Amino acid sequence: MSGRWEPGSPEARQAEGAGIFCLPVPTPFLVGPVNLYLIDDDPLTLVDTGPNSGLSAEALVDGLAALGRRVDEIGRIVLTHQHMDHIGLAGVLARRSGAEVVAIEGLAECLGSYTEWMAADDAFAERVMARHGIPDDVRLALQAVSSSFRGWGAPVQVDRLLAGEASLEFAGRTLEVFVRPGHSPSDTVFLDRDAGILIGGDHLLADVSSNPLISRRLEWGLPGRAADEALERPHQLEIYLESLAQTEAMEGIELVLGGHGPAFRDYRALIGERRGLHERRAGKIRGLLEEGPATAHGIAERMWGNVAVTQAYLTLSEVLGHLDLLIAGGAVTSEEDDGVVRFACA
């Protein structure tokens, strides 16, 4: 679980002084509450919405009321990425308020065809898991859990499409838009340069590493190229590290408002910590392979034991991401036999 937003902290006061208010709402997920951000400007704008649940909706309504605002006053809803704890209520809120829904171009089809997209995601995950050694019974259980979670998200029509390096205009500010895939394929961050504030979604969080989950590419669309997708698995950690490097090079950021946990200032130091974490984990995986060749799931079991079963796709994504780095560096090789990939020290 991540930490929580800290009301009254210097960081919270700085954000509020710039007209950006955090509205934490509960989620059913281990990460804990999700931070929504209300930008008190024209149009009144909500960044992210929380999952599709009555508890989240109630917390949002209460948070707005504490600021003297109502749902029907929201004029624009901006979405940072596709995960259900960030987009679940977008459709409900748009219908209640008439707000314009804004997201990057590649996210529109995903959100507009949410049910179909989730089914394609599940099918893709099934093929990746089978190819990398997760047993049939574990895959079946994970698919049942995934199906039970789908209701936390819901379809929403995106009204305005953003390209990378675009901007969002307000009466009193401009938000610059930067696409930063990795944690998901659609991660987007928004910089208020005058205020020195970056609204970062889950791209970079203060207390927890943003897991680069293996996901279908947005450009694959629907229904997807089913036979090829598992073979063309995106190298999600490599993508994420490149996005971190792009953020590290950005200037003018005094404060980062994350999608979970407290706000933070020294984003470059945090990026360095995250990079070091991944380097150490890659080294540990290389060391485990000295015990003998293994599937990615087998490596996950060596690292995390039963957690590699209860959170099989998360741990598989972690291991495969670091194996991609090791293969690129010439330290590890892979070989496929009867549809299953095994890895070994080079």
Enumerate the domain spans of the chain. 10-345
Q: 345 exposed, middle or buried (CB, 10 Å; 0-12, 13-18, 19+)?
A: middle
Given this model, what pLDDT does residue 119 score? 87
Q: Using CA atoms, how far apart are residues 63 and 57, in angstroms rounded to an integer?
A: 10
Location of structure tokens 């995390």: 304
pLDDT tens profile 288-307? 999 999 999 999 999 999 99
Given this model, what pLDDT does residue 152 score? 92
Average pLDDT for the chain = 93
Q: State whether the Cα torsion 189-77-153-158 is positive or negative.
A: negative
**Is residue 1 over pLDDT 60?**
no
**Is residue 96 over pLDDT 80?**
yes
Question: Which amino acid is located at 167 in the chain?
Answer: S
> What are the beta bridge partners of residue 337?
340
**Is residue 6 over pLDDT 70?**
yes
Q: Using CA atoms, how far apart are residues 249 and 227, in angstroms rounded to an integer?
A: 38
Cβ atoms of residues 154 and 186 within 8 Å: no
**Count of all residues that appear for the chain in the document:** 346
For the chain, percent of residues with pLDDT exceeding 70:
96
**Is residue 72 over pLDDT 90?**
yes
Given this model, what pLDDT does residue 136 score? 94
pLDDT tens profile 148-170? 888 899 999 999 999 866 899 99
Q: What single string gives the DSSP state of each residue in 52-121?
A: SSHHHHHHHHHHHHHTT--GGG--EEE---S-HHHHTTHHHHHHHH-PEEEEEHHHHHHHHTHHHHHHHH
For the chain, percent of residues with pLDDT exceeding 90:
81
Q: What are phi and psi of 174, to 5 degrees?
A: -130, 135
Give the helix/strand (H/E) hosting 256. Answer: strand 255-258
- Name the pairing type of β-strands 45-47 and 100-104: unpaired
What pTM was computed for the model?
0.94
Q: Which of 10-14, 97-101, 308-312, 341-345 has the lowest mean pLDDT?
A: 308-312
Quick one: which of 275, 286, 274 has its CA closest to 319?
286
pLDDT tens profile 179-235? 999 999 999 999 999 999 999 999 999 999 999 999 998 888 776 555 455 557 899
pLDDT tens profile 230-284? 557 899 999 999 999 999 999 999 999 999 999 999 999 999 999 999 999 999 9
What own/partner pairs with CB < 8 Å and gap ≥ 24 does 169-172 have? 170/39, 170/41, 170/42, 170/43, 170/45, 171/41, 171/42, 172/19, 172/41, 172/42
Reply yes or no on domain 10-345 having CATH 3.40.50.2300.
no
